[in-house]
Chain A
Amino acid sequence: MNTFDFLLQGLAVALDPAILLYALIGVTIGTAVGVLPGIGPALTVALLLPVTYGLDPAGSLVMFAGIYYGGMYGGSTTSILLNTPGESASIVTAIEGNRMARAGRGGAALATAAIGSFVAGLLATLALAFLAPHIVKLALVFGPREYFALMVLAFVTVSAAFGDSAMKGLTSLFVGLALALIGIDGLTGQARLSYGVPQLLDGIEVTTLAVAMFAIGEALFVAANRVGADEKVHAIRGSVAMTAQDWARSWKPWLRGTAIGFPIGAMPAGGADIASFLSYGTERKLTRHPEEFGNGAIEGVAGPEAANNAAAAGTLVPLLTLGLPTTATAAIMLAGFQQFGLQPGPLLFATAPKLVWGLIASLLIANIMLLVLNLPLIRLWVKLLTIPRPWLYGGILLFATLGTIGVNPSRAELAMLMIFGVMGYLMRLHGYPIAPVVVGLILGPMAEQQLRRALAIAQGDWTTLVSTPLSAGLIGLAVLALAVPMLLRMRGRGAVLAQVAKDDD
């Protein structure tokens, strides 16, 4: 069977009414959290993970992917109308989008963002479907050393390649790696760093850490800084539609954004925020209206919004085919797979083709749902922005504790939730990124296993790690991804890198 047959088979799964309902719930929640400032897709999936223990695996995963896609759509709304990005991949959108809203062109900005997201999401999901089987074939020649090299590359790109300081990114990563060591060693059963405390023997829960750092840490930070207390929502004037000229100026940026976003998401090269930033830079260079950039150029909204959606789809390529998460959201989705006893990777395509292809096909359908949710119903979502912040954050914290109370009900786990929350706040305060901690926690034990397996195969010979062209190339890329940005920063070119990075994806 070829990709097309598989995709048709997947569509049959995706059109099941129950799965359609899960997809609808996912994209609705995703759009809501994308619109609300302060909660992103990573946090939302982490919050919902415990709730779905008893639910259908396929449906839950479709819902999570829907949240990821929806978050990318919804984030633009906040950027454009409030100048506060709903999630970090929409930071760039705020530059031009908010100017357009101030000039009374908010409707056109929202329309190009939504349609661009749709075009990009559709093309990128199709690209995912056609690329995935090839990566799966490639992955079959991967041994432990190649996986280890790939993970090292992911570690570097998540922590050190972007952001204002490699030191801070690496520190976050190592905090995650250290936390990952707590508990029972997967290969020998040796207890590590648990000091006889039963809660520690189980290790640190990914969801506890992610919810604490993203939700509680963020709430503490916003409360302590009183940031954004006096922002004003720009009402949408006129209809959410585009003129013929808007269309003419938008369609190329959409396609270019897709072409930039998908590969960046698909390679372990960082998440959607980097893609949207690069797309903005490209549009700025190629535009025929350079005078409009900085004052509300529609290309500056169309390109980045397409790019961040394409990157979200691209992120699913390494996640599904290799089991390799490259963003915080993907890391938590991996935890979601593991919760149902599924290990993403080449094997999953053989053992559960219905689930994988059903998931991919659902994303195509989710995209159509999102277009409907975001164009005609946009005014409804804007109402969410009028929720007073005390109530909004009160609700977020209530939900943040809900998952822990429901699944790991113990005083120790709740105390951990608070401690990691305070830690997340302090890290934010001092400019340390959060995503590397989460990625380190989930990828750390996997990297350790692959490393020890590779060394066992080579009887302890460390040169085995660079003994094939593939693994040597990947390690070489990781070294470059660490060294080049550091050189750039030393030569005073760090500003660009600093703008790209954010603590969430």
Chain B
Amino acid sequence: MSPLGPSSGRRPDGAAFVIAAILAAAGTVLIAEGARIPARGGYAGVGPGDIPVLVGWGLVALALWHVVAGLRGGRGPGRVRQDAVAILWITGGLVLQNLLLWQAGFAIASGIVFAFTAAAFGRRNFAVSLPAGILLALLVYGIFDRLLKLNLPAGPLETLVFGG
């Protein structure tokens, strides 16, 4: 964001302030954590607590920079409208996988991730995408768990196909 560059309007940039607040909060956490750690600098004079303080102040400085940039406003290209439903599909699939993984097994849980991601990209026909995802996940399970000795959680499906 070049302050003297071509600017489309001088509206303050809201996003910059939100980001500034997050950076300042993270910086404060780091500084507080650094202060909590007993000073054991030894010969260096710089101990395990001092680097978090340093990085913390760096974050605070960046937060201030964001505030200044936000006040100057004038963003570059306007942001494209975001498809919130697509994001919910993908994150929803990941959450479901996390919840189901140790009960339903790798194939079913990962098949859900596959089908939900496909749904985010417009393919909402679960009668096709879910079996396709589970089949792909079963194949991956066969290769990585059985051949490459990666330990993937097995559920009823895996036991059925590959044995116990």
Chain A contacts to B: CB under 8 angstroms: 50-51, 53-55, 164-165, 167-168, 170-171, 174-175, 177-178, 181, 185, 187-188, 190, 192-193, 216, 219-220, 222-226, 388-391, 393-399, 401-402, 405-407, 409, 411, 414-415, 417-418, 421-422, 425, 429-431, 448, 451-453, 455-457, 459-460, 489-492, 494
Q: A185-B48, A415-B98, A425-B87 are in contact. Are A389 and B42 (CB under 8 A)?
A: no
A165, A222, A394 pick with most chain B CB within 10 angstroms: A394
Q: Which residue of A lies closest to B76 (CB)?
A: A164
Q: In the complex, what's the smallest C-beta–C-beta distance from B69 to chain A, in angstroms?
A: 6
Q: A164-B76, A170-B62, A394-B129 are in contact. Are A181 and B55 (CB under 8 A)?
A: yes
Question: Do residues A188 and B40 form an inter-chain contact, with CB atoms below 8 A?
Answer: yes
Question: Do residues B41 and A192 form an inter-chain contact, with CB atoms below 8 A?
Answer: no
Which residues of chain B are near A168, meaning CB under 8 Å?
Answer: 1
B108 in the interface, Cβ–Cβ < 8 Å? Answer: no
B interface size (C-beta, 8 A): 76
Question: Do residues B52 and A490 form an inter-chain contact, with CB atoms below 8 A?
Answer: no
Question: Do residues B46 and A167 form an inter-chain contact, with CB atoms below 8 A?
Answer: no
Question: Do residues A395 and B114 form an inter-chain contact, with CB atoms below 8 A?
Answer: yes
Q: Which residue of B lies closest to A190 (CB)?
A: B48
Q: A193-B52, A390-B123, A394-B114 are in contact. Are A460 and B62 (CB under 8 A)?
A: no
Complex Cα gap A36–B133 (Å): 19
Question: Do residues A414 and B84 form an inter-chain contact, with CB atoms below 8 A?
Answer: no
CB<8 Å pairs between A and B, sample of 29: A51-B144, A164-B1, A167-B65, A174-B23, A177-B55, A181-B30, A181-B55, A216-B90, A216-B94, A219-B117, A223-B90, A223-B120, A390-B117, A390-B119, A390-B123, A397-B114, A398-B113, A398-B136, A401-B97, A402-B140, A406-B151, A407-B150, A409-B153, A411-B98, A421-B91, A452-B47, A453-B44, A455-B44, A460-B44
Question: Do residues A418 and B91 form an inter-chain contact, with CB atoms below 8 A?
Answer: yes
The 7 A-B residue pairs with the shortest CB-CB distance in the complex, in nearest-first order: A460-B45, A390-B118, A390-B123, A455-B44, A223-B86, A406-B150, A456-B44
Q: In the complex, what's the smallest C-beta–C-beta distance from A48 to chain B, in angstroms?
A: 11
Q: In the complex, what's the smallest C-beta–C-beta distance from A377 to chain B, in angstroms?
A: 23
Question: Do residues B121 and A390 form an inter-chain contact, with CB atoms below 8 A?
Answer: yes
Contact with A along B110-127 (1 / 0, CB 8 A): 100111011111110000
B35 in the interface, Cβ–Cβ < 8 Å? Answer: no
Contacts A393-B121, A491-B4 known; list 19 others, CB within 8 Å.
A54-B149, A178-B26, A192-B52, A219-B120, A225-B80, A391-B123, A394-B114, A394-B118, A395-B114, A397-B113, A398-B113, A398-B133, A401-B113, A418-B95, A422-B91, A425-B87, A453-B44, A459-B43, A460-B45
Q: Which of B76-102 contact A (CB under 8 A)?
A: 76, 79-80, 82-84, 86-87, 89-91, 93-95, 97-98, 101
Question: Do residues B79 and A405 form an inter-chain contact, with CB atoms below 8 A?
Answer: no
Q: Which of B1-25 contact A (CB under 8 A)?
A: 1-6, 15, 19, 23
Q: A390-B117, A409-B151, A455-B46 are in contact. Are A224 and B86 (CB under 8 A)?
A: yes
Contact with A along B46-80 (1 / 0, CB 8 A): 11110110011011001001100100000010011
Question: Do residues A405 and B101 form an inter-chain contact, with CB atoms below 8 A?
Answer: yes
A226, A405, A451, A494: the one within 8 Å of B83 (CB): A226
Complex Cα gap A462–B97 (Å): 50
A181, A216, A429, A453: the one within 8 Å of B52 (CB): A181
Question: Do residues B97 and A414 form an inter-chain contact, with CB atoms below 8 A?
Answer: yes
